[in-house]
Amino acid sequence: MQTNFSSAQLADPHVAESEKILRKCVHCGFCTATCPTYVTLGNELDSPRGRIYLIKDMLENGRPADKEIVTHIDRCLSCLACMTTCPSGVNYMHLVDHARAHIQETYDRPLLDRLTRAMLAFVLPYPRRFRAALRLAKLGKPFIGLFEKLPALKPLAAMLKLAPASIPAASPMASPGVHAGQGAKKGRVAILTGCAQSVLDPAINDTTISLLTRLGVEVVVPPGEGCCGALVHHMGREEAALASARQNVDAWTRTIDQGGLDAIIITASGCGTTIKDYGFMLRLDPAYAEKAARVSALAKDITEYLASLDLPEPVRKPGTIVAYHSACSMQHGQKITRQPKELLAKAGFIVREPREGHLCCGSAGTYNILQSEISAKLRDRKVRNIEATGASIVATGNIGCITQIASAASMPVIHTIKLLDWAYGGPKPEGVRDESLIAAE
C-alpha cells in the first residue's frame, strides 16, 4: 500500500512503525474471510482491510480520531485471526495498538463510555478491587433486565451477567515464595499470578504449580508481579500498560538474577501474547528494552513448556471426549496450535476440534462487556460448533474464553492444565460431571 507520510511525521517512531506495517498491505482482502466482525456484520469497515484504510487515513492526515473510526476500531476484537491469514505479514496487532492509543489521546468519548472504561481499568487489573466488585455485583444482578433496556447501561448489564454466583477464596499458593520440585530437579520457572484469573479461578495456577513440582520443576512466585497490562493496553491506555510491563520486567529480572529461570510460565494465553510483546512495547525505553526482550524470550504458555519436558506415562488415561477450543491469543497471538492438543491426546483424552475454530468466542478482554451484542453472537456461534462435536468437556487455555463459553455452554469448560494434571495423578477437576468420567476409570 502506498503511503504519504511527511518526514516530520515519520520522525515519530510510532508513526514510522505503523507506516512500515501499512506498506506491507497489498489490499488483497484475504483477511476479511476470517475476521469475526466482518463475518458477523458484513461491513467492509468492520474488516481488517477496512480498518487498515481507516487507520491509514487518520494517521496520514494527522487528525484526531472521529466517531466513525472509533466505532469500527472498538468493534475489532484484537483476535488477530487476520494476522494468521495475511500472506504479506501485515502486523495488524501493532497497527491497531497504535490506533487505540491515538484514539485514547485524541477522542472525547461520551461520558458513560468514559466512566465505564475508567472503571474497568481501575478494577480489573487489581485482584482485591476485582474481588470486591464481584461481591457488589451480586447486589446488582436483579437489575440486569432493567439495565439491558437502556443502551448506555448495556455494559453494566453485561458485567453483571458475567459475574459468577460464587467467588473462590484467594489461594495461599499465589503468595510470593518458592515451591520446590520433587525428586531430581528438572528446571526452574517463574509463574505469572496475574489479575482476573487469580480471582475467578485460582485453582488454575495452583494446579499448574502442583503438576510442575510433581514433575521436578521448581516454581517461583516472584514478589512484585502484577497484571500483565493487556486489559488496559487493549483500551489504548498506553502509559498504564507500560507501567505494568515495567513492574513485571523488574520482578522477573530480580528472579533471573537470583538463580536463573528456564521460563516464565503463563496460564492465560491473553496475558502470554502481551508478555511476549514486552520487548516491542518497551523497545524505545533504553532502561528497559534489553530486559524486556529477555523477559519476552522466556515467556512460555504452560502447554508450550510442558511439551518441552520429557513427560512420564500418565497415571490414568481418561478416554473422555474433549472439545479443544483454541483461544485466539493462543493460536493467532502466539501461534501455539499443536502442543495443547498433543498433550491432551498423550494424556488419554479423545480430542475433537470444533468447526470454525479460527473464529473468536467473543470474549476478547473487555469486549464482552463493551460490545456485548456482537460478543453474544460470536459466543452462541462458538457454542453451537463446540456442542456439535459431541464432546462432554471443553478444554481451553484462557480464562476469558472459559468465562465466556461457560456462560452459554451445556458442558463444563475446563482449563487444559486441570485435565492434564488429572491424567498425571492430580484430583478430578472441579466441574467435571460424573457421567463424563464413566469411560475414564
Query: Which residue's CB is nearer to ligand SF4, number 44 or number 342?
Result: 44
If one asks whether residue 226 binds ligand SF4 (CB under 6 A), the answer comes out as no
Rule CB under 6 A: choose which of 45, 81, 219, 227 binds ligand SF4.
Answer: 81
Provide, rounded to whole angstroms, the least separation between the CB of residue 89 and ligand SF4: 8
Stretch that binds ligand SF4, among 70-78, 121-129, 132-140, 187-195 (CB under 6 A): 70-78
Rule CB under 6 A: choose which of 55, 80, 275, 323 binds ligand SF4.
Answer: 80
From CA 33, how far away is CA 329, in angstroms rounded?
Answer: 19
If one asks whether residue 149 binds ligand SF4 (CB under 6 A), the answer comes out as no
Nearest to 320 by CA among 206, 434, 201, 205: 434
Query: Which residue's CB is nearer to ligand SF4, number 76 or number 256?
Result: 76
If one asks whether residue 349 binds ligand SF4 (CB under 6 A), the answer comes out as no
Nearest to 289 by CA among 255, 249, 257, 261: 249
Cell numbers linked to 255: 528472579
Query: Which residue's CB is nearer to ligand SF4, number 300 or number 332?
Result: 332
Query: Which residue's CB is nearer to ligand SF4, number 80 or number 123?
Result: 80
If one asks whether residue 413 binds ligand SF4 (CB under 6 A), the answer comes out as no
Nearest to 334 by CA among 125, 84, 98: 84
Query: Which residue's CB is nearer to ligand SF4, number 236 or number 429?
Result: 236
From CA 424, how far away is CA 346, in angstroms rounded?
Answer: 11
Q: Which residues of 325-334 are buried (b: 16+ CB within 10 A; e: fewer)?
A: bbbbbbbbbb
From CA 36, how far away is CA 192, in angstroms rounded?
Answer: 30
If one asks whether residue 33 binds ligand SF4 (CB under 6 A), the answer comes out as no
If one asks whether residue 221 binds ligand SF4 (CB under 6 A), the answer comes out as no
Note whether 226 and 248 are within 8 A (CB): yes
Provide, rounded to whole angstroms, the least separation between the CB of residue 406 and ligand SF4: 22
Stretch that binds ligand SF4, among 9-17, 87-95, 98-106, 401-409 (CB under 6 A): 87-95
Side chain identity at residue 53, one-letter code: Y
Query: Which residue's CB is nearer to ligand SF4, number 190 or number 231?
Result: 231
Identify the three-state secondary structure at position 176.
coil
Rule CB under 6 A: choose which of 15, 22, 49, 381 binds ligand SF4.
Answer: 49
C-alpha distance from residue 433 to each of 7, 8, 137, 318, 399 (Å): 63, 62, 28, 13, 20
Query: Which residue's CB is nearer to ligand SF4, number 53 or number 288?
Result: 53
Provide, rounded to whole angstroms, the least separation between the CB of residue 312 and ligand SF4: 39
Rule CB under 6 A: choose which of 14, 29, 91, 358 binds ligand SF4.
Answer: 29
Rule CB under 6 A: choose which of 15, 79, 219, 221 binds ligand SF4.
Answer: 79
Region 6-25 residues binding ligand SF4, contact defined as CB under 6 A = 25
From CA 292, how far away is CA 347, in angstroms rounded?
Answer: 35
Query: Which residue's CB is nearer to ligand SF4, number 46 or number 218?
Result: 46
Note whether 418 and 210 are within 8 A (CB): no
From CA 303, how far away is CA 426, in angstroms rounded?
Answer: 17
Rule CB under 6 A: choose which of 31, 235, 322, 401 binds ligand SF4.
Answer: 31
Return the bridge partners of 179, or none. 219
Burial (0-12, 13-18, 19+ Cβ within 10 Å), 4: exposed
Rule CB under 6 A: choose which of 15, 58, 90, 159 binds ligand SF4.
Answer: 90
Stretch that binds ligand SF4, among 59-67, 71-79, 118-126, 237-245 (CB under 6 A): 71-79
Sign of CA dihedral 158, 163, 164, 170: positive
Region 91-110 residues binding ligand SF4, contact defined as CB under 6 A = 92
* Number of chain positions touching ligand SF4 (CB under 6 A): 26
Provide, rounded to whole angstroms, the least separation between the CB of residue 37 and ligand SF4: 5
Query: Does an H or E element contain 104, and which?
Result: helix 92-106
Stretch that binds ligand SF4, among 43-51, 221-229, 300-308, 394-402 (CB under 6 A): 43-51
Side chain identity at residue 271, one-letter code: C
Query: Which residue's CB is nearer to ligand SF4, number 207 or number 326?
Result: 326
Q: At what angle do helices 92-106 and 48-60 cross, to 10 degrees?
A: 50
Query: Which residue's CB is nearer to ligand SF4, number 52 or number 282?
Result: 52
Place of cell 466512566: 115
Q: In what order do the strands lie in the sheet with 177-179?
A: 177-179, 217-221, 187-191, 263-266, 299-301
If one asks whether residue 30 binds ligand SF4 (CB under 6 A), the answer comes out as yes
Return the bridge partners of 352, or none. 323
Note whether 62 and 127 are within 8 A (CB): no
If one asks whether residue 76 binds ligand SF4 (CB under 6 A), the answer comes out as yes
Which stretches of the chain bind ligand SF4, using CB under 6 A? Answer: 25-31, 35-37, 48-49, 51-52, 76-82, 85-86, 88, 90, 92
